[in-house]
Chains A and B, each alone.
Chain A
Amino acid sequence: MNVMSDIRNKSVFTTGEVAQICRVSQQTVIRCFDSGRLQGFRVPGSRFRRIPRASLVTFMKTNQIPLDKLETGRKRVLVVDDDEAIVEMFTELLARHGQFEVKTARTGYDAGILTEQFRPDVILLDFKLPDINGNVVCRTIRSNPNYEHIHIIVISGVADPDEVKELLAAGANEFIRKPFDINAVISRIAEAVKVA
């Protein structure tokens, strides 16, 4: 993985990195930071400026700076399931497709952390998880306005109509029942992120 991709996956940036991403001088970044137009914080015990990813994105969008240096070309998919075999199958399936970057989580807690770090475009979410259920995960993600764009597909073997209704109300975009047609799942994901 090159330096660029490292930067892309970071969640907190230095002023130098921001200058690189935004294609401006570091001085300009510092000026913007100090004037408050670029939100951030100083590292405790020093004067180093740090800019969180979310405020950087906001800053870039406000100033109409292209986001291509911040994003990879591939869409990120987070697979959340406690069943090893399912996770493995999805990883293989999505990897074979080639256009997706995949990370996996076994629990709701992991799913939360990875959403923060990995910033997935699509989450494939199992309903029954060892710690918290899928509806709680949905609601937690949706409570953060920064994750509004994430497309959540719940995939579950439980087909109780009441539970499906609750999931959709909690913020899931769609529901697919196990077992499924793999081509159908791929096309659902592709359509959600507009990848051909």
Chain B
Amino acid sequence: MRPLATMETTLAEVRPPRAAREAPVPVRVGLILHHLDQLPTLPAVAARLLELTGSNDSCAQDVIEIVESDPSLTAAVLRLVRRADLGVSDRTMTVHRAVVLLGFTVIRNLVLSIYVFDTLSQREKSASVHREGIRKHSLAVACVADMLAGHIGPPMVAGEAFVCGLLHDIGKIALDACLPKSYLRVIERVDRERACICDVEQELFGLDHTVAGRRLAARWKLSDPILECIWLHHQSANALVDSVAHPQLVRTVHLADSLVRMHGIGYSGYPIINDVDELLTELGLGEEVPVEVMARLPERIKPFIDIQNPQDSSTDPCSWQSLTNVNRQLGQINTKLRERNRDLELRSEIFETLHRFTHRCSREDGVGDVCAAAAEAIRAMVDAQCAVAFAGDPSQPFVHVGVSNNSDPQAGLIPQPLVDVIDLGSPLEVEGLLEGASVGQLAPASEHCEPIWQQCGPKSSEGRLWMLPIACEPGWISAVLFNDCDDSVRRFLSARVECEALTSSVRLALSSANTRVASERMNQELLDSNRRVRAAQQSLVRTHSIAMIAEMASGAAHEMNNPLAVISGRAQLMLAQYEDPELARSLRIIVEQTQRASGIVNDLMGFAKPAPPQSLVQTLYDMLDMLCQHWRTTFKLTEHQLMLSVNDPRVTVYADLDQLREILTALVTNAVEATSGETTRLQVNSPSSLSDETVRIVIRDNGVGMTRDVLEHALDPLFSSRPAGRGRGLGLSRAYRLAEINGGRLWLESTPGQGTTVTLELPVRAPQD
């Protein structure tokens, strides 16, 4: 609640328009103020009477003169004396005597009660029900306030309370007088929607009857106490600030107003019945006082009603009493209906929110999108500056968030909610999040939510931080956070079932999004693992054949090297014995061939069980450059026939230097053999850059290429597309093996007649453990 001191500035600011959706408010306010200023002034008689009450030196003679100057007033006063049954006969009655008998104050009140309402009603001649009702309500409030003032005692002045009560709703009459048709709409809407008349006035006019009444009172130059009562009689008892000069008077009128409304007397257009306990305490009155006062009300109000409606037969004490009872019961029913209405309104707001949320959600939404939809719907519901919905796995330090901000007053647009994933640094605590709150119920946000709000919420957020927990269980956690500046969220606290329905829907949408994301991920994983299985199968086949070769080679190495050693040894022995050159030559061939046979066996073993790589990080370019020069010499190639290009000379490779050299030599040898003589053209290039995790060396030749069949078996050990007996067919498969044990890959692409491209991929740096 804003302090009243700040309300002095402009009328439009008095109450922030709760639903200023329709038209420019300042224009309407200006119009109404203009109309108010056009209202007739108080008749001279009434003004004079008010003046008299203000000064203590007023004498009965003045009053008598005023009354006598107006015949209708004289008649009314005499009628009042008669009805008051003071044991005086008509014949002896004069105005002078009546004033003495009734007292000055009563006369003054009587006069005012007639003049004030008549003055304002004179424009609209046809009396309407509500206008009559307001008059009756005002009279009742006046009487009750007067009686209450009597109970409170000094410094309360009895007559003053009556005037204040009488005039407290003058703003309604004024507005009605200014804009009769519009005001009828107000009344109709209040009746239909069971709304507070102040809110409806605010909405339609931009100001309410308290402000209008204050304006009129000021114009009529009514005294300060009256002015304050008109202005502040709806303020709660303890909300009055120190600057209010007559707080007790204001409270008295407020209490009287509440009591009269409670009994349903007249028409006030204000269906909400306040709790009077607070007011009673503030005024120092006992609980029995209202009962007593209300019991005496019919008797007190009677003269005034009589004056208004001399022929009204329903105003005798008995019928008045019964009418009051009926009114009270009606009032009670009214109260219940009103509460029910308020509940229904709340429900409709929540279900509207639910509708907005489901409307925004779609089948393809991810968790973040659902969060955004929830944040937007709930922000609109509670009318917050910003709302942040989050959802995540409490074992992870990440959460999905959706952030909705309200419209920027300048831009006038509602920004699209943001979807994001934020890093919290550490996982959320499931137990800590709720802190006594429960899922589906609004509660002040726990401090565990603050990091999220700080990351996603507005830079400067006002008011208190609230949360609506959506889910809190092992596996996932979710809530909506929002700030509330004017405590308006409290009204949703009672709607527990509806809030739970809302959160259940959000939870369902979230879990369906979760499931969808999970199933998509599973699909992806299934695809991946299928691919891996296929690769593993291929690798298994290869590994299996390699294992077989290793076993065979290991056995063969021993079994074959023994006879080879014998053959070789015997031949050498014979060489030493015989000097026949023919024989010696044959013997030497035998020795050579045994060496060759042994070499094949050893190669096979090396292929199956290569030495573990002694890897180092080295600059790729230097090595490739040196190797290319070496190959040019070996294969007799020009620089044009063997070209080297490296994208970034700083790129490194992590591999066993000797094995890498062997791989590359095998690949280049293969390429050279696939091409022929003059037309040989090789390209060695490395398209990798520094930021890559792996480095690629591509060796491209313009040779004969490979058919599909050859390509399929190119990496198999002992496979050679060349005629049998030439080469061992281990070059490529050994290169493949070595690439593999160095943590890399090797693959071939080839088109017959166009050449072959071999790509070798190796890590750039040592793996980090």
> Is A157 in the interface zone, CB < 8 Å from B?
yes
User: 14 interchain pairs (CB within 8 A)?
Assistant: A89-B569, A92-B573, A157-B564, A157-B598, A159-B605, A160-B554, A160-B609, A178-B565, A179-B565, A179-B567, A179-B595, A179-B598, A181-B572, A182-B573
B572 touches A85 (CB 8 A): no
User: How far is B560's CA from A85's CA once the two chains are assembled, in angstroms?
Assistant: 13
Contacts of B557 in A (CB 8 A): 157-159
- Does B562 belong to the interface (CB within 8 Å)? yes
The answer to the question of B561 belonging to the interface, with a C-beta cut-off of 8 Å to chain A, is yes
Residue of A nearest to B606 (CB): A159
Distance (Å) between the CB of B579 and the closest chain A CB? Answer: 16
A interface bracket (residues with beta carbon within 8 Å of B) = 20 to 34
Residues of B within 8 A of A92 (CB): 573
Contact partner, A86, options B566, B609, B611, Cβ 8 Å: B566
Name 18 extra pairs, CB < 8 A, besides A92-B573, A160-B609, A180-B569. Answer: A83-B562, A85-B562, A85-B563, A86-B566, A86-B569, A128-B558, A155-B565, A157-B558, A158-B554, A158-B558, A159-B602, A178-B562, A179-B564, A179-B565, A179-B569, A180-B568, A181-B572, A182-B569
Can you list, as one digit per residue, whether each of A160-196 has a CB less than 8 Å from chain B (1) or not (0)?
1100000000000000011111110000000000000
Instruction: Please determine whether B566 and A157 come into contact, CB atoms closer than 8 angstroms.
Output: no
Let me know if B708 is at the binding interface, CB within 8 A: no
Residues in B neighbouring A86, C-beta threshold 8 A: 562, 565-566, 569
> Per-residue CB proximity of B559-585 to A under 8 Å, as 1/0?
111111111111011000000000000
Give the size of the chain B interface in residues (CB under 8 angstroms): 24
**Min C-beta distance of A91 to chain B, whole Å:** 12
Chain A's nearest CB lies how many Å from the CB of B571? 9
Say how far A187's CB is from chain B's closest CB, in angstroms: 13
B561 near A178 (CB under 8 angstroms)? yes
Residue of B nearest to A128 (CB): B558
B379-407 contacts to A, CB under 8 A, are none
State which residues 90-120 of A face B: CB under 8 Å. 92-93, 96
Which residues of the partner chain A approach B573 to less than 8 Å between Cβ atoms?
A: 89, 92-93, 96, 182
Report the Cα distance A23→B558, complex, angstroms. Answer: 51
Residue of A nearest to B560 (CB): A157
Chain B residues near A178 (CB-CB < 8 A): 561-562, 564-565, 598
Which chain A positions have C-beta within 8 A of B569?
86, 89, 93, 179-180, 182
On whether the beta carbons of A85 and B611 are closer than 8 Å, the reply is: no
- B594: interface (CB < 8 Å): yes
Nearest residue, chain A, Cβ from B609: A160
Which residues of chain B are within 8 angstroms of A182 by Cβ–Cβ distance? 569, 572-573
Known A-B contacts A89-B566, A179-B567, A179-B595; the reply to A157 vs B572 at CB < 8 A is no
Interface contact A157-B565, CB-CB below 8 Å: yes
In whole angstroms, how far apart are the Cα atoms of A21 and B535 in the complex? 77
Inter-chain CA distance A183–B572, complex, in Å, is 8
Q: Are A89 and B570 in contact (CB under 8 A)?
A: yes
The 8 A CB mask of B510-545 against A (1 = contact, 0 = none) is 000000000000000000000000000000000000
Q: How far is the CB of A189 from chain B (nearest CB, A)?
A: 14
- Taking the closest CB of chain A, its distance from the CB of B367, in whole angstroms, is 54
Residues of A with C-beta under 8 A to B598 = 157, 178-179
Considering the chains assembled together, what is the distance between the CA atoms of A188 and B561 in angstroms?
20
Which 7 pairs between the two chains have the least Cβ-Cβ distance?
A: A157-B561, A178-B565, A179-B568, A179-B565, A178-B561, A85-B566, A182-B572
> A132: shortest Cβ distance to chain B, in Å?
16
From A93, A156, A177, A179, residue with most partner B Cβ within 10 Å: A179
Q: Report the Cα distance A156→B573, complex, angstroms.
A: 19
How far is it, in angstroms, between the C-alpha of A92 and the C-alpha of B577 when the chains are bound?
Answer: 13
Question: Taking the nearest CB of chain A, how far is it from the CB of B598, in angstroms?
Answer: 6
- Give the complex CA separation of A183 and B566 in angstroms: 14
Q: Which of A18-59 contact B (CB under 8 A)?
A: none
A83 to B564, CA, bound (A): 12
Task: State the Cβ distance, A169 to closest chain B Cβ, in Å.
Answer: 17
Which residues of the other chain, A, contact B594 by a CB distance below 8 angstroms?
179
Contacts of B609 in A (CB 8 A): 160
B1 to chain A, nearest CB (A): 87
Q: How far is the CB of A96 from chain B (nearest CB, A)?
A: 8
**Complex partner residue of A179 from B558, B561, B605, B611, CB under 8 angstroms:** B561
Q: How far is A158 from B601 in the complex, measured between Cα atoms in Å?
A: 10
